[in-house]
Amino acid sequence: MSDEGDDPADGWFPESVAAGYDGPGGANASEAVAAVVDALADLADGPVLEFAVGTGRIAAPLAARGVPVSGIELSRAMAARVAGKPGGDAVDVTIGDMTTTRVAGEFSLVYLVFNTISNVTTQDGQVDVFRNAAVHLRPGGLFLVEVGLPDLRRLPPGQDTVPFAVDPGGGYVGFDQYDVVTQEFTSNHVTVAPDGTGTFRRIPFRYAWPAEMDLMARIAGLRRKHRWADWDRSPLTADSTKHVSVWEKTN
Ligand SMILES: C[S@@+](CC[C@H](N)C(=O)[O-])C[C@H]1O[C@@H](n2cnc3c(N)ncnc32)[C@H](O)[C@@H]1O
């Protein structure tokens, strides 16, 4: 479902989505952003590059802390919002695909947050993300990924759907639908307005286990350095719902 003014080249994040992306609360809450920015600032030791920089939710406040930040972003509609944020005018954004796009410079840290590696829906494409991160890193540089773990433990045999928000009174139902053979899944968002009109957004993703990402990293010449359950650097457990992993360029 897209609006008339949307540019198909902007993928799943066209103008109609970008316009509402920076709303209050959730991932935009100041504590949530500060936790990410603090951890990234600790890991950075020179210029950094954000893959899929979006509207600069993280890149702009990181740049405001004095870290030189570049970004790669597919959607012009999302990227157009970066410069308007405090610190954002210092972020150097290149429009392109993070699987292939090269930017000038050597970086101490490349990071890819907020589940966005899952937007690349093939294993080959995800390996290309790791390879492209490695190309941009100086020796000893770090690649960080933040991504949710698939909710497969909530799937009994014969079932492929996990609801994550059911609020019919509020006019919203959200559910993920998994294909455990291909590791593809869709996130489905059904919204019904008070007048009864509705929208159905179905967004494709691919999940990869942390161990699969370690192999992708090895293919790209990276070795795992950290694996956390969250930005507080707590250890990953069987009940973790996401991971924040960091790999180091070995040469
Ligand atoms: C969930 S948003 C995250 C944006 C930002 N990193 C943040 O944390 O707010 C995902 C972003 O990834 C971008 N994106 C998706 N696939 C991409 C790709 N292959 N190359 C570059 N950007 C991509 C989308 O356009 C969107 O702006």
Q: What is the pLDDT of residues 85-100, one digit of tens each?
A: 999 999 999 999 999 9
The answer to whether the CB of 127 is under 6 A from ligand 1 is no
Cα–ligand 1 centroid distance for 18 (angstroms): 11
How, if at all, do strands 69-73 and 161-167 pair? unpaired
If pLDDT is split at 50, 70 and 90, which confidence band does 1 have? very low
Query: What's the gap in Å between 196 CA and the centre of ligand 1?
Result: 31
What does the pLDDT read at residue 5? 84
pLDDT of residue 168: 82
pLDDT band at 2 (very low <50, low <70, confident <90, very high): low
Residue 47 has pLDDT above 80, yes or no: yes
Residue written as token pair 């410069």: 83
Question: Does the Cβ of 74 fall within 6 Å of ligand 1?
Answer: yes
Q: Best mutation site among 58, 119, 145, 146 for ligand 1, i.e. most ligand atoms within 8 A of its Cβ?
A: 119
Given a cut of 90, is residue 54 above it in pLDDT? yes
Which residue's CA is minimally distant from atom 27 of ligand 1? 54
Q: Which of 10, 13, 49, 189 to mutate to test the pocket of ligand 1 (most atoms within 8 A of CB)?
A: 13
Provide the β-strand partners of residue 189: 174, 201
Q: Full-prediction pTM beyond 0.75?
A: yes
Q: Is 113 in the pocket of ligand 1 (CB under 6 A)?
A: yes
Instruction: Convert the pLDDT of each residue in 21-44 to its tens digit.
Output: 998 878 988 999 999 999 999 999
- What does the alpha-carbon distance between residue 76 and residue 228 come to, in Å, rounded to a whole number? 32
pLDDT at 25: 78
Three-class secondary structure of residue 179 per DSSP: strand
Residue length of the chain: 251
Q: Is the CB of 144 under 6 A from ligand 1?
A: no
Tell me the average pLDDT across 116-131. Answer: 98
126-184 tens-digit pLDDT: 999 999 999 999 999 999 999 999 999 999 999 999 999 999 888 999 999 999 999 99
For the stretch 181-223, pLDDT in tens is: 999 999 999 999 999 999 999 999 999 999 999 999 999 999 9
The residue nearest atom 26 of ligand 1, judged by CA position, is: 54
Confidence at 4, pLDDT banded by 50, 70, 90: confident
CB burial class (10 A; 0-12, 13-18, 19+) of residue 157? exposed
Domains of the chain: 8-149+207-249 (3.40.50.150), 152-205 (2.20.25)
Say if residues 190 and 106 touch (Cβ distance below 8 Å): no
Nearest atom, ligand 1, residue 53 CA: 6
